[in-house]
Amino acid sequence: MKLEADTLIPFPRDVVLSTYRDRLPDLVPYLPNVRGIKVVNREEIEGTTRLVNEWTANAEIPSLLKSLINVEALGWIDRAEWNQATYSCRWQIEPSIFTNNVVCEGVNYYIEDGDGTRLEIRGDLTVNPKGIPGVPSLLAGRVAPVAEKFIVNLITPNLLSVAKGLESFLTA
């Protein structure tokens, strides 16, 4: 399933990129779908910054998935490689649940747009329900699209709310 979101942030590209990359945990108070962000690892190599962030989500779980998901464990690991030269960030999200059954990855592009920055988020999400505890093989075909839609609906507003939160943080 495609994951796409675009937004305009009314601040210069260098400020937007460096704040998003370097101050993400400071944005939590501005993110309604997030309870916490912890930087697990940071590595800088020749214009590239590699980050591993642990996110804790704040979300409602669809009834079909409630027996499979503990809301307290809902979160993900975000592995990101920031390229300062191309103003882009290649990312991979590893959910805290169904880790071996979900693949989610993509690229964020930070593009100058007048005095602001257009953030273009492009990604793909795939759920393989085989082997998920509690999902009978007969229902696997029904669970995959529900799970993909749930995850995309969880991630997309979060991605956009991070941009809005970043804007609010920079304004303050």
In which element (H, E) is residue 151 found? helix 140-171
> Is the pLDDT at 30 greater than 80, yes or no?
yes
| Residues β-bridged to residue 28 | none
Structure confidence at residue 73 (pLDDT): 62
Question: What residues does each domain of the chain span?
Answer: 2-171
Residue 125 has phi, psi (to 5 degrees) of: -130, 130
- Is residue 145 classed as helix, strand or coil in its secondary structure? helix
- Is residue 153 classed as helix, strand or coil in its secondary structure? helix
CATH class entry, domain 2-171: alpha beta
Contact in structure between 163 and 152 (CB atoms under 8 Å): no
> Is the pLDDT at 34 greater than 80, yes or no?
yes
Structure confidence at residue 167 (pLDDT): 94
Q: How many CA atoms lie within 13 A of 154 on its CB side?
A: 23
In which element (H, E) is residue 19 found? helix 13-22
What 8-state DSSP symbol labels residue 10?
Answer: S
67: confidence class by pLDDT, cuts 50, 70, 90: low
Structure confidence at residue 62 (pLDDT): 66
Q: What is the mean pLDDT of residues 142-171?
A: 80
| Residue-wise pLDDT tens digits, 78-110 | 999 999 999 999 999 988 766 777 888 999 999
> Is the pLDDT at 139 greater than 70, yes or no?
no
What 8-state DSSP symbol labels residue 134?
Answer: T
Structure confidence at residue 136 (pLDDT): 61
Token pair for residue 138? Answer: 């007969």
> Is the pLDDT at 59 greater than 70, yes or no?
no
pTM of the model: 0.81
- Of 83, 168, 79, 161, residue with least CA distance to 123: 79
Q: What is the mean pLDDT of residues 8-27?
A: 96
71: confidence class by pLDDT, cuts 50, 70, 90: low
- Of 34, 117, 114, 119, residue with least CA distance to 78: 34
> Is the pLDDT at 61 greater than 90, yes or no?
no
Residue 72 has phi, psi (to 5 degrees) of: -70, -25
Structure confidence at residue 114 (pLDDT): 95
